[in-house]
């Protein structure tokens, strides 16, 4: 996947409601909108779900580091790629070492490790607290991946995951933005995981949906990444976010009322 994106002209469709206006823009512009609009405007919990999340998360980490942000990556999917992260250095005309120096990575191979890392994020963030709080960014790569392990009893997964999410909520409320990247999950036929009758994967994804302020769905095709805005929580701002299109690929806005 080519992450060397360029900004094409902006185009709007006339005669449509505001929620359907379309702006042509690459991933870099999307990141600018959701990270550089100011702490009172930017969403604090953004979920990217679907295809290619490992590579995109790696690029996003590099982009943020290139903007002078302190980045913490918790990788529960073993998909973080430092080469992709440092590729932003060529665009920003800075050294790859400078990019990687701004990224702290911690990997988890079990749900217990992932939950522990999420619960202890406040201490890890404190280690880089020399920077203003609003300059810190946390990337959770594969936040539910390790929780899908069939060797972990169902009765342990729910409280473990929900306790970890409560820590994320706590830090987000304190001003630390979170960017979650989760690949599509499919659960084998099993007894219902919850009273609602959904599978473990569906239950965990539902929790991520409820946690997130904004949700972008990622699809890959021959023209490149296609991103659909599925959920956008209301913010106290006049900022109008419109649809985006990445280089060689379409980016549509699709506001889903059922996700609100």
Q: How far out from the chain centre does Cα 5 lie?
A: 19
> What confidence tens digit (pLDDT) does each residue in 202-246 have?
999 999 999 999 999 988 877 777 888 888 886 543 334 344 433
Q: Which residue has the tokens 């980490």?
A: 61
> What confidence tens digit (pLDDT) does each residue in 118-151 have?
988 877 665 544 444 447 899 999 999 999 999 9
Residues 6 or more apart from 33 whose CB is under 8 A from it? 239, 241
Q: How many CB atoms lie within 10 A of CB 17?
A: 6
Q: pTM for this structure?
A: 0.77
Contact by Cβ (8 Å): 137, 171: no
CATH code 3.30.2290.10 for 44-212: no
> What confidence tens digit (pLDDT) does each residue in 5-28 have?
333 332 323 333 333 333 334 688
Q: Domain extents for the chain?
A: 44-212
Q: Which of 175, 164, 150 is nearest to 207 (CA)?
A: 164
């Amino acid at each position: 996947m080519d992450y060397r994106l360029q900004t094409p002209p902006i185009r709007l469709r006339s005669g449509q409601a505001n929620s359907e206006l379309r702006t042509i823009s690459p991933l870099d512009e999307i990141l600018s909108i959701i990270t550089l609009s100011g702490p009172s405007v930017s969403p604090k919990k953004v979920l990217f779900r679907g295809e290619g999340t490992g590579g995109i998360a790696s690029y996003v980490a590099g982009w943020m580091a290139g903007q002078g942000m302190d980045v913490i990556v918790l990788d529960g999917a073993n998909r973080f790629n430092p080469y992709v992260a440092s590729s932003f250095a060529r665009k920003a005309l800075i050294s790859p070492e400078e990019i990687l120096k701004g990224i702290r990575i911690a990997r988890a191979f079990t749900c217990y490790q992932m939950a522990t890392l999420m619960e202890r994020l406040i201490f890890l963030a404190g280690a880089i607290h020399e920077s203003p709080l609003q300059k810190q960014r946390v990337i959770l790569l594969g936040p539910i991946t390790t929780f899908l392990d069939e060797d972990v009893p169902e009765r342990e997964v729910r409280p473990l995951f929900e306790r970890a999410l409560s820590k994320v909520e706590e830090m987000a409320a304190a001003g630390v933005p979170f960017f979650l990247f989760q690949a599509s999950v499919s659960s084998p036929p099993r007894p219902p995981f919850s009273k609602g009758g959904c599978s473990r994967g569906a239950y965990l994804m539902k929790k991520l949906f409820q946690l997130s302020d904004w949700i972008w769905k990622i699809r890959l095709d021959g023209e490149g990444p296609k991103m659909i805005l599925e959920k956008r929580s209301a913010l106290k701002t006049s900022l109008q976010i419109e649809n985006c299109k990445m280089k060689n690929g379409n980016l549509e806005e699709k506001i889903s009322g059922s996700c609100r």
